[in-house]
Amino acid sequence: MTPYDGAAPDGVVTVAAPAKVNLTLHVVGRRDDGYHLLDSLVAFADVGDLLTFRAADDLTLTVDGPFADQVRDLGEANLVLRAARALAAKAGIVPKAAIHLTKGLPVASGIGGGSADAAATLIGLMELWQLELLPSDLIELGLALGADVPVCLRGRATLVGGIGDVLNPAPNLPPCWLLLVRPGVPLSTPAVFKARDGEFSSAYPLTKRPADVQELVGALKIRRNDLTDAALSLAPVVGEALAAIEAAPGCLLSRMSGSGATCFGLFADEAEARAAADSIASAHPDWWVVPASLIS
Ligand code: C5P
């Protein structure tokens, strides 16, 4: 899946919105406005939402897919519509497009579903409306929609700093497999940041290219996700998900993504990632369990 598949001959623009995975997340400070300063290695998995954009006389959004019910009733609060209106306002035009969203990612899950949708909307509508924006303006527009939107605009492994607005290319990551596991509960990002206590961490960006999966795992293990304890205090089931992933044969690392509750396992081997998915899904039918390869 590529982030942008281009305009088809019939004028339909199709853009993928892949799941974001925080392979590491250090909380390194807090600004006066309450936003936290982060140091995070963000990667993307080849699973996610899909959006299409067509020319129309007004702005509409239709949704389908396994998690459509979670976004259908948001109305104008939907990040897709907010992104469309913000882009049109920036360009000084009236927003007109028929947007369709296939929602494959659960919401409020730490894998950036809403942010990925907003980023895909900006990319898709820039193509449909033939707009050109300075990269800095695009990042500013994205940041106003959500702290994860700028990195989702890049859609590939990135070293994220600031509150999500400082982006530097990550070294190439080796091919590997992820198992995404979201135990039944949604978690509110502000609530998790609020529940975090203790000292701030130091930034520790991964700058050296890992030669293989073992080296990547070694580098990840000396870093962490600083929001894990806060998420566990609000949703102890996160601990069950981490333990289930950790126990799977072939799992090299298990960790929470973002503010949770989605956790991931890292695998060198596709068959082992798929076997782990089957066994965790059958033991926990109410959990969302998906194997995916890392977008390199
Ligand atoms: O920007 P976004 O809507 O994703 O952030 C939701 C909330 O998460 C913010 O209002 C803030 O409470 C918290 N947050 C934070 N520091 C960040 C990102 C988010 O404190 N870097």
How far is ligand 1, taken at its centre, from the CA of residue 105, in Å?
19
How far is ligand 1, taken at its centre, from the CA of residue 192, in Å?
10
The response to whether residue 258 sits with its C-beta less than 6 Å from ligand 1 reads no
Question: What is the structure's pLDDT at 1?
Answer: 39
Catalytic residue among 39, 49, 117, 148: 148
Residue with tokens 């001959």: 9
Rounded to whole angstroms, what are the CA distances from 254 to 89, 267, 269?
A: 42, 10, 15
How far is ligand 1, taken at its centre, from the CA of residue 35, in Å?
6
Question: What is the structure's pLDDT at 243?
Answer: 98
The response to whether residue 201 sits with its C-beta less than 6 Å from ligand 1 reads no
Report which protein residue has its CA nearest ligand 1's atom 3.
146
**Structure confidence by residue, pLDDT tens digits, 38-73:** 999 999 999 999 999 999 999 999 999 998 888 887
Residues in the chain, pLDDT under 50: 1-2
How far is ligand 1, taken at its centre, from the CA of residue 189, in Å?
6
Helix (H) / strand (E) containing 45 = strand 36-54
Helix locations, the chain, DSSP H = 69-72, 79-91, 113-128, 135-145, 149-154, 189-195, 213-221, 228-234, 237-246, 270-283
Contact call for residues 167 and 136 (beta carbons, < 8 A): no
pTM across the whole model = 0.94
- Asked about 20 being catalytic, the answer comes back as yes
The response to whether residue 165 sits with its C-beta less than 6 Å from ligand 1 reads no
**Structure confidence by residue, pLDDT tens digits, 195-220:** 999 999 999 999 999 999 999 999 99
- DSSP secondary structure code for residue 55 in this structure: -
The response to whether residue 36 sits with its C-beta less than 6 Å from ligand 1 reads yes
The response to whether residue 15 sits with its C-beta less than 6 Å from ligand 1 reads no
Catalytic residue among 10, 20, 39, 117: 20
Question: What is the structure's pLDDT at 2?
Answer: 42
Number of H helices, E strands in the chain: 10, 11
Question: What is the structure's pLDDT at 65?
Answer: 92
Question: What is the structure's pLDDT at 75?
Answer: 74
How far is ligand 1, taken at its centre, from the CA of residue 82, in Å?
17
